[in-house]
Chain A
Amino acid sequence: MSGAAIAVMLRIDLRVLARRLWVQMTTLAGLVIIAIVAIFAAGDSGQAQIDALRSDSASLLLIGGLVVAVGLGGGAFSRDASSGYLGLLVGSGATPSRVGAIRITARILALAAIFAIWGVSMQLASLAIGRGFDGALAVHTLAALENAGLVLCASAALASVIGPIAAGVFGIMVFITAQAVVNLKADLDQGAIERSSRSFIDPVYSVLPRAIVSPMIAELQHRSDAGPAAPTININGLTVYVPASHLSDVLWTLLWTLIFAGLATYGVRRRQL
Chain B
Amino acid sequence: MDGIIVSELTVRYQGTAEPAIIGISCAVGPGKGLCVTGPEGSGKSTLIRALVGLVPPTRGTVSVLGGAPQLPAVRTQIGYSPDRLPFPRGMRVLDAIRLVGAIRGTADAPSAALEQVGLPPDDRRVISTLELGEVRRVSLACAITGSPRALLLDDPWEYPETVDVIRRALSDGVVVVVGTLDPGGFPDLLGATLTLAEGRPA
A interface residues (Cβ-Cβ under 8 A, vs B): 1-2, 4-5, 8-9, 12, 15-20, 79-80, 82-85, 87-95, 272-273
A91 contact from B53, B87, B91, Cβ within 8 A: B53
A137→B30 CA distance, assembly (Å): 64
Contact flags B90-115 to A (C-beta < 8 A → 1, else 0): 11100100111011110000000000
Residues of chain B lying within 8 A (CB to CB) of residue A79:
88
A83 contact from B52, B85, B95, B126, Cβ within 8 A: B85
Q: Who on chain B is nearest to A20 by CB? A: B90
Interface centre among A15, A79, A88, A89, by most chain B C-beta atoms within 10 angstroms, is: A88
B82 CB within 8 Å of chain A = yes
A106→B13 CA distance, assembly (Å): 29
- Given A84-B85, A87-B49, A272-B55, list of 11 further CB < 8 A pairs? A5-B102, A16-B90, A20-B89, A88-B86, A91-B80, A92-B78, A92-B142, A93-B75, A93-B103, A272-B14, A273-B54
A19 contact from B76, B100, B126, Cβ within 8 A: B126
B39 CB within 8 Å of chain A = no
Chain B: minimal CB distance from A13 (Å): 9
Q: Who on chain B is nearest to A90 by CB? A: B54
Residues of chain B lying within 8 A (CB to CB) of residue A83:
84-88
Q: Who on chain B is nearest to A16 by CB? A: B90
A15→B126 CA distance, assembly (Å): 11
A87→B54 CA distance, assembly (Å): 7
Chain B: minimal CB distance from A123 (Å): 30
A87→B89 CA distance, assembly (Å): 16
Question: Can you name 26 A-B residue pairings with CB atoms under 8 Å?
Answer: A1-B103, A2-B102, A2-B105, A5-B102, A8-B99, A8-B102, A16-B89, A16-B90, A18-B90, A19-B89, A20-B90, A84-B83, A84-B86, A85-B86, A85-B88, A88-B142, A90-B53, A91-B54, A91-B75, A91-B78, A92-B75, A92-B76, A92-B104, A92-B142, A94-B72, A272-B55
Q: A87-B54, A93-B75 are in contact. Are A16 and B80 (CB under 8 A)?
A: no
Question: 9 shortest A-B CB distances, which residue pairs?
Answer: A93-B76, A19-B90, A84-B82, A84-B86, A91-B80, A8-B102, A5-B102, A84-B84, A93-B75
